[in-house]
Amino acid sequence: MADSFAGSPVLTLHPRMILAGDIGGTKTLLGCFPLLPDNQEVDKSPGKVFKKEYPSKNYNSLEQVLEEFLETVRSDYSKSFSLASAAFGIAGPVVNGRCQTTNLPWVVETDSVAHLLKLPKINVRLVNDLVATAWGTTILGEKDTTLLNPGRPDPQGTRIVVAPGTGLGESILIPSAQGPVVIPTEGGHADWAPESPSDIPLLTYLWSRFGHASCERIVSGQGLANLYHFHTREQPPASLPLDSGLAEEEIPASLTHAALTRHDPLCTMILDNFCRFLGQEAGNLALKSLATGGVYLAGGIPGKIEPFLLRSSFMDHFVNKGRYRNLLSEVPVHIVNNPETGLLGACQLASRSLPGS
């Protein structure tokens, strides 16, 4: 576990705070943000925000994580604080205030969370994690992103977020006079199609192993492990580039480390294929949403492999859409390297859930 203060560890709190969370298959990041005296604006100044990270799979439910977090807040902050609102971005579809998480055995419900937090249901929001991330991209600074393709940005154009992490999340953001409108999707689970005949063996491998070949099966942490198994399926254990005793969830980090350090050519080739497939899928969603406002590559992976991604074949496959090559070449592409983008977005949503907001 890790905790952090945004500045000095000596905190002076206002009595009212909002709670925000970014809930993923690998980690859960929670944050308490105090409100300014008018009780409508969040105070993000140094020494005022408390954050703590938890390994998601070590807990049976979000409520269990929240109980531990709130106890820590009470001991490190103040026993007298109270919550005004809360919002959580969760990796999974949220329907009628309920989410069956995709890569965790959790069911999260607004009623249960509101009861635990002692808040009215109207002041608690559960959204897909890519909705929170999309909101977070609206307040990122220049240092929070790296430009992969400058393009010709349309300030009023649709933007998309494609976020490979434990799984693959996607969302669409449409500007409006009343503020951003974010459309959640489960596009990462849509069918993946080969770009060329050379990729057909991978397709048949995914079919045989999973019964369905989705984009998430190759463009995610799980996808890196699947690509590794595909490319080493006929190799004897002694010749494998990674330790054969590695747990499945440890393969992505070990593979990317070997590729980034150029330690192993097979791992380098697999990571380049990952970037190729990421470009292919980002280009697909950019076409379907006409994302002239830009593409944001978020999630746990792009920022960690940024140097590799910048020199990869991503853009070649992003624009490889026949007659729409020229249109896609003008779409800006950003790598999001702020790992707290989802938390910042959840904070935005929580502040919009305040009474009278």
Domains of the chain, first to last: 2-137+341-352 (3.30.420.40), 142-336 (3.40.367.20)
Rg for the chain (alpha carbons), in Å? 21
pLDDT computed for residue 10 by the predictor: 40
pLDDT computed for residue 42 by the predictor: 78
How far apart CA 335 and CA 104 sit, in angstroms, is 26
Q: Span 113-118, mean pLDDT?
A: 96
Tokens 């002692």, residue?
118
How far apart CA 337 and CA 129 sit, in angstroms, is 17
pLDDT digits (tens, 9 = 90+) for 169-181: 999 999 998 888 9
How far apart CA 245 and CA 194 sit, in angstroms, is 31
Long-range contacts made by residues 95-103, C-beta under 8 angstroms, separation at least 24?
A: 97/121, 97/126, 98/126, 99/126, 99/128, 101/23, 101/25, 102/25, 102/167, 103/24, 103/25, 103/166, 103/167, 103/222
- Give the least confident one: 79-83, 162-166, 313-317: 79-83
pLDDT digits (tens, 9 = 90+) for 317-356: 999 999 999 999 999 999 999 999 999 999 999 998 886 6
How far apart CA 172 and CA 231 sit, in angstroms, is 33
How far apart CA 180 and CA 189 sit, in angstroms, is 25
pLDDT computed for residue 9 by the predictor: 39
pLDDT above 90: percentage of residues in the chain = 79
Helix (H) or strand (E) holding 172: strand 168-174
Q: Is the pLDDT of residue 77 over 80?
A: no
pLDDT computed for residue 5 by the predictor: 43
pLDDT digits (tens, 9 = 90+) for 265-319: 999 999 999 999 999 999 999 999 999 999 999 999 999 999 999 999 999 999 9
Amino acid identity of 348?
Answer: Q
Higher pLDDT: 9 or 38? It is 38
With bands split at pLDDT 50, 70 and 90, how would you rate the model's confidence at 8?
A: very low
pLDDT digits (tens, 9 = 90+) for 98-113: 999 988 999 999 999 9
The strand pair at 94-95 and 98-100 is best described as: antiparallel
